[in-house]
């Protein structure tokens, strides 16, 4: 492990924001050991990617309707599709569990390599 600094200012971060790799990994292992693998798996899981796109599309529609002072209502068909994708995404994420490594935690947390 090299002595690269990591800039992380999220939950559990040191006040200065700059962490050694060990400090950063200790925080991540303590707080996000279970969530990180699920997030990393969701990036490659097809149902999860489709679900994310559905949510993005629905939010855009809600914004468009709000600009027109109208109320947007999700159709039953769309709601059913989202529920099915959500279930498939959850199953996909839970299928394979692996331990997150440094780069996974950086992607998960939004941290950056280097000093703050």
Task: Express each pLDDT in 104-114 by its tens digit.
Answer: 999 999 999 99
What CA–CA distance (Å, rounded) separates 98 from 38?
9
The pLDDT tens digits of the residues spanning 1-12 come to 456 899 999 999
Taking the domains of the chain in order of start, what are their residue ranges? 1-33+99-116, 46-98
Sheet-wide strand order for 112-113: 18-19, 6-7, 112-113
| pLDDT > 90: percent of the chain | 81
Q: Stretch 16-25: mean pLDDT, rounded? A: 95
- pLDDT score for 84: 95
């Amino acid at each position: 492990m090299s002595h690269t600094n990591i800039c992380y200012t999220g939950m559990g971060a040191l006040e200065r924001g700059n962490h050694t790799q060990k400090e950063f990994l200790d925080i991540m292992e303590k707080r996000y050991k279970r969530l990180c693998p699920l997030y990393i798996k969701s990036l490659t899981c097809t149902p999860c990617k489709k679900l994310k796109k559905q949510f993005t599309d629905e939010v855009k529609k809600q914004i468009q309707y709000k600009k027109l002072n109208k109320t947007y209502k999700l159709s039953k068909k769309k709601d059913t599709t989202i529920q099915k994708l959500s279930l498939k995404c959850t199953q996909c994420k839970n299928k394979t569990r692996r331990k997150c490594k440094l780069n996974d935690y950086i992607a998960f947390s939004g941290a950056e390599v280097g000093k703050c």
